[in-house]
Structure 1
Amino acid sequence: MDPNLLYWKSHGQSFYSRLKIWVDLLDPISLLSSDANIQKARALLGSGETQNEKDGHAQILSLSSVHADSGAVLPLVFRPPAFMPVSMPLVVGSFLPHATVGPAVLWQFLLQSYSAGFNYANRNSSTEQGRKTSLEQLLSMAGTVSFATCAGALPQIFISRLGIRSAPIQNFLRTILPLPLSAALAFFNVYAVRSEEYVTGIQVFDSNGNPVGLSKAAGEKAVMETALSRAALFGATAVVPNLLVLLFQSSRLLQRYSRLVTPLRHMSTVFVMGLMIPVSFSLFPQLGTIKRKNTEKELKAAAHDGQLYYHRGL
């Protein structure tokens, strides 16, 4: 089993412990480290030498920058510490009340493209080692981004193409509809981009960390957990700022200074998303477990303690 997964097995089985780890891992300063330093940190983590060090800097570098299946250094913009600084302006831009369809489509395209790239880079790739990305996978990602972009821009498309001038309907399309839509599209993006995992299966391990075979059931569980965590992230990021604006709109201050509504919405979006990223990453263990009764028949004998382990991805 990969050193990163062994670390998650011993340190990340409770939500609180995972949350503390992710708060450290999401520090953008780690993005300044070179690939050579990251590989050195991974080697130290694998040798166990970092267990005697106080700072744990090597652990942070390895866990935040190295893929747990391939052992390769992740692309810079798709590492977990880059998720917040890259995706946050895209989310804010996608929530803007655009005047025309073009900007709405552009912001959605940028957001959905980055989300697809992040989901793909951080997937479980245990069955793809030594293989290049296939044309089928590229076409699937392109289709996912295209569909999610069009669906995300639907509120503005309805307003512009149908010539809607009613203020209540516009308010519904721009304020209410994006709430469930954001969560649904985040779920869809993960589920579609990582479909290979529940179609072909992913590597599962016994309690000693030994690989015992491929499991489609574990792949389905890994993708479902990640999709739910991403839906929680984008859903909360869409819901909470709108609720805050609705609450404060009744105050005299915002009634007198209506221009404060937009900055309040943007600042609350940034604040909520900043809080929700480590929370959503921590909702499910990175090294997940699947019970013996839920695995394939040929794998049940390997579940000596009643369960098998798998890398969930991110």
Structure 2
Amino acid sequence: MDTNLLYWKSHGESVFSRLKIWVNLLDPSFLLTSDAEIQESSTQLRNGEQISKKDEHAWNISLSSIHADSGSVLPQVFRPPAFLPCAAPLVVASFLPHKTVKPALFWQFLLQSYTAGFNFANRNCSSEKVQTPSPKQLILIAGTVSYTTCAGVLPQIIVNRLHIRSLFLQNFFRFFVPVPLSAILAFLNVFTVRGEECETGIQVFDSNGNSVGVSKAAAEKAVMETALTRAVLFGTTAAVPNLMASVLQRTRFFQNNALLVAPIRHGLAFFVFGLMIPLSFSLYPQLGTIRKENVDEDLQAKVAEEKLFYHRGL
């Protein structure tokens, strides 16, 4: 088992402990770390040095920059610290009530492309012999980006193509429908991009960190958990700003200053998204557990322990 996973095993047992770790790991300053420093930190930790405050910085660099399965350095733009600065502007832009379909399609395409790349880069690749994307994976990613982009602009298409003039219906499609739609698309983005894991399985480990085989059941659990966290992230980000804007519009001050509602909504979207990232990442442990009776039947006979571990991915 990789040293990063061993760290999560000993330090990420509760939601609060995982939240504390993720708040540190999402610091954008870690993106400035050079590859040489990342490799040096990884080597230092792999040599068996004890976890202490002295090498806490090395752990943060390793956890935020190195893939726990392959041991390779993650692409800079797809590292966890890059998620907020890269995705937040795309989220805010995609939630704007665009006047035409083309700008809505453009921003949805950028958002879905980035999230698909992030989901793929941070997948579980423990059963993959070659770390480069297979043709099937590339087709899955392209298909995912295509249909989530089109589905994401569906409310805008309905308003424009049907020439809806009712203010109630316009607000319904522009501000209410995107809430469940954003959650569903975020869920599907993870589920389809990482769908190959469910077919090939992922490695499971015993309590000593030794690999005991490959399990499809563990892969399904890992992908489902990650998809749910992403649905919570994007669904909440879409819901809270719209709810707050609806409340503000009922006050006398904002009725007299209606132009202030839009920038407040966009600012809230950015704030809520940044707040929800570490919380959503912390909902499930990075080193998940699965009971022996729930893994594949051929694997049950090979293991003696009642609880096995797997890397959930991100």
Same fold, judged at TM 0.5 (above): yes
Q: TM-score under structure 1 normalisation?
A: 0.98
Pairs within 5 Å for 1:121-270: 121-270=121-270
CA-to-partner distance for each residue in 1:160-210, whole Å, 9 max, x for gaps?
111111111111000110000000000000000000111110011111111
Name the aligned partner's letter for residue 176 of structure 1.
F
304-313 or 147-156: which moved more?
304-313
CA-to-partner distance for each residue in 1:249-290, whole Å, 9 max, x for gaps?
111111111111011101111111111000000000000000
209-218 or 303-312: which moved more?
303-312
- Displacement of 1:305: 3.5
Aligned to 2:298: 298
Question: In structure 2, how many angstroms separate the alpha carbons of the residues matched to 1:303 and 1:203?
Answer: 13
Question: In structure 1, how many angstroms separate the alpha carbons of the residues matched to 2:52 and 2:114?
Answer: 38
- Displacement of 1:304: 3.4
Name the aligned partner's letter for residue 14 of structure 1.
S
Percent of aligned pairs sharing the same letter: 63
Q: TM-score under structure 2 normalisation?
A: 0.98
The DSSP-based 3-state class of the residue aligned with 1:213 is strand
CA-to-partner distance for each residue in 1:101-146, whole Å, 9 max, x for gaps?
0000000000000000000000000111335311111111101100
Name the aligned partner's letter for residue 121 of structure 2.
A
Change (3 A) 1:52 1:15: closer
Name the aligned partner's letter for residue 85 of structure 2.
P
Change (3 A) 1:50 1:40: farther
Aligned to 2:42: 42
Aligned to 2:68: 68
Length, aligned pairs only: 314
Question: In structure 1, how many angstroms separate the alpha carbons of the residues matched to 2:277 and 2:52?
Answer: 30
Aligned to 1:20: 20
Alpha carbons 1:50, 1:56 under 8 Å: kept: no
Alpha carbons 1:286, 1:311 under 8 Å: kept: yes
Alpha carbons 2:125, 2:131 under 8 Å: kept: no
51-60 or 155-164: which moved more?
51-60
Name the aligned partner's letter for residue 125 of structure 1.
C
Alpha carbons 1:97, 1:174 under 8 Å: kept: yes
Question: In structure 2, how many angstroms separate the alpha carbons of the residues matched to 1:174 and 1:232?
Answer: 19
Question: In structure 1, how many angstroms separate the alpha carbons of the residues matched to 2:89 and 2:52?
Answer: 39
- Displacement of 1:296: 1.3
Aligned to 1:93: 93
Change (3 A) 1:239 1:131: closer
52-61 or 271-280: which moved more?
52-61
Runs of 4+ in 1 over 4 A off after TM superposition: none
Question: In structure 1, how many angstroms separate the alpha carbons of the residues matched to 2:126 and 2:75?
Answer: 18
Question: In structure 2, how many angstroms separate the alpha carbons of the residues matched to 1:130 and 1:187?
Answer: 26
The DSSP-based 3-state class of the residue aligned with 1:98 is coil
Aligned to 1:11: 11
Name the aligned partner's letter for residue 86 of structure 1.
C
Name the aligned partner's letter for residue 287 of structure 1.
L
Question: In structure 1, how many angstroms separate the alpha carbons of the residues matched to 2:192 and 2:26?
Answer: 25
- Displacement of 1:50: 5.2
- Displacement of 1:302: 4.8
The DSSP-based 3-state class of the residue aligned with 2:51 is helix
Name the aligned partner's letter for residue 213 of structure 1.
G
Alpha carbons 1:207, 1:304 under 8 Å: kept: no
- Displacement of 1:301: 4.1
- Displacement of 1:55: 5.4
Question: In structure 2, how many angstroms separate the alpha carbons of the residues matched to 1:129 and 1:282?
Answer: 29
Aligned to 2:82: 82
- Displacement of 1:297: 1.9
The DSSP-based 3-state class of the residue aligned with 1:51 is coil
Alpha carbons 1:5, 1:311 under 8 Å: kept: yes
Aligned to 2:310: 310
Alpha carbons 2:212, 2:303 under 8 Å: kept: no
199-208 or 299-308: which moved more?
299-308
